Amino acid sequence: MISTEVLLAFLAASALITIAPGPDNLMVLSVGISRGRSAGIGFGLGCALGCFTHTLWATLGIGAVVLASEATFTTLKMAGAAYLVYMGVNAWRYAGKMALIQLDSGSAEPIGAHLRRGFIANVINPKVALFFIAFLPQFVDQTRGAVWPQMLLLGTLFAAQTVLIFGSLGWFAGSIGVHLQRQPKLAVWLDRCAGTIFIGLALHLATAAR
């Protein structure tokens, strides 16, 4: 359906885009360092699942139809910014408390909670939707049959490599965070730094244009 050369070029471009510094990377790093391995990995996997959702939207044409409306784009943008602010404020509000709970009880928040947060943060970001709408068609060959199966395949491959990269990034950041969180005072500042990053990303998203 798609030539091997095109698939390899797509995977190389996708990996470079995923590795390049961006909002998702910063969120995965900040969550991993401030909350530990399971949090970093869970948040990263949530972002990856969000990418697959954007793939479905782009494949079915829903994303293009929805984002063609300035009002819809603005609504999604502000909803995404509000969610990031919510996460940032909570990080400041409960700074250091989660680390103390983990040290006292030896248990961490379920990985599913962080996966859900990563998914929501990614899926309601209209800038990510626009990226998929613009990026995937560049590797589609209309002479090789229907477009939508190619779009679905490419998007699935993008999400799969994102799982590997973000999962590894979350594990690496979390490995550092495990040691840092053992210092209660430092854990407070790690949470505050993470909160500041989320709020900064929220402001960036809120002021972004299509």
* pLDDT for 42 beyond 90: yes
Residue ranges covered by each domain of the chain: 22-206
Q: How many CB atoms lie within 10 A of CB 43?
A: 34
pLDDT > 70 fraction of the chain, expressed in percent and rounded: 88
pLDDT tens sequence across 54-70:
888 888 877 676 667 77
The mean per-residue pLDDT over the stretch 116-123 comes to 92
Residues 6+ apart with CB under 8 A from 167: 41, 44, 45, 48
- Helix (H) / strand (E) element for 106: namely none
pTM, to two decimals: 0.79
What H or E segment, with its residue span, contains residue 136? Answer: none
